[in-house]
Amino acid sequence: MSNIWKSAKLDFSLVKPYVKTICFTMVLPVVFAAINRSLLTGISFAMCFIAMTTGYTFSITEKNSMERLYGILPIRKSDMVIGRYIFIIIMGLTALIFSLIAHPVILTILGESISIFDYISAAVTGIFLFALYTVFQLPGYYRFGSIKGRVFMYIPVAGFLITLLLITKSPVGESKLLFTVINSPILLMLLAVIFVIAMYIVSILVSIKILKNKEM
């Protein structure tokens, strides 16, 4: 078993006593999906909520002064960081799978029909939003700790609003490239996946650098 996987398992054991609380945060988005009669809305909320719980590992580590345990384990700091990202991505994917099963069940009961395209677009949007939140949050947690680092979660929200503002004020129709992307769902999804991977790579490298320079 590689050290990265061992590190991810250690993170799981940290949040294991809080699994019920984390599961509870997945219930509310089901209600949102039902009210809005939209799978996309439900999944977006679910991924936003689960992203908020990624600070648990940092909070528990801080509360128990466990940085000392991490400091004595025979494992590279880069492996610790990658292990934590992997654990958090697994958490996100688990929440996504749960939501992609639970939300359609509720929506179907309410008489809504859901196409394959709805599933795919909701999944890609969910992954994108989760990545957008976590790639900013995690380096923030590593640098400033679980309380101060939480503020980094709002960077994507601000970025989102600014992007929307820029798009509405700029002549989108005149950009041929943007027009092609927006009107091609497959291309849009592909770009989202590439963007997610790139964001995670940069975020991981930043977090490793922060941890390597951090004094415990």
Partner 1 sequence: MNDYLEVRNLSKSFEGFQLHNITFTLPKGYIMGLIGPNGSGKTTTIKLILNMLKRTSGEVKILGFDNIASEQEAKRNLGVVFDSNYFSDEWKISQVEKSVSAFYENWNTQKFSETLKRFHIQPSKKVKELSKGMQMKLMLACAFSYDAKLLILDEPTSGLDPVSRDELLHILSEYIEDGEHSVLFSTHITGDLERAADYITYISYGELFFSGGKDEFIDSFRIVKGGCEELSTDLGKKMLGIRNFSTGFEALVKTEDLKQFAHLNVEPATIDDIVVFTSKRGEQYE
73 binds partner 1 (CB under 8 A): yes
What is the distance, to the nearest Å, from the Cα of residue 74 to the centroid of all Cα atoms in its chain? Answer: 29
Instruction: Please report how close the Cβ of residue 212 comes to partner 1 at its closest, in angstroms.
Output: 9
Write out the binding residues for partner 1, residues 75-104 only, by CB under 8 A. 75-76
Instruction: Please report how close the Cβ of residue 133 comes to partner 1 at its closest, in angstroms.
Output: 25
69 binds partner 1 (CB under 8 A): yes
Which of 21, 64, 163, 184 is close enough to bind partner 1 by CB under 8 A?
64
In this structure, the dihedral spanned by the alpha carbons of residues 69, 72, 73 and 79, taken in order and rounded to 10 degrees, is 90
| Structure tokens belonging to residue 20 | 């019920």
| Structure tokens belonging to residue 75 | 């494992």
Stretch that binds partner 1, among 39-47, 72-80, 169-177, 183-191 (CB under 8 A): 72-80
Q: Which is nearer to partner 1, 41 or 53 (CB)?
A: 53
150 binds partner 1 (CB under 8 A): no
122 binds partner 1 (CB under 8 A): no
Q: Which is nearer to partner 1, 115 or 213 (CB)?
A: 213
Binding mask 24-63 for partner 1 (x = CB under 8 A): ------------------------------------x--x
Which of 71, 110, 120, 179 is close enough to bind partner 1 by CB under 8 A?
71
Q: Which residues bind partner 1 (CB under 8 A)?
A: 1, 3, 6, 9-10, 13-14, 16-17, 60, 63-69, 71-76, 213, 215-216
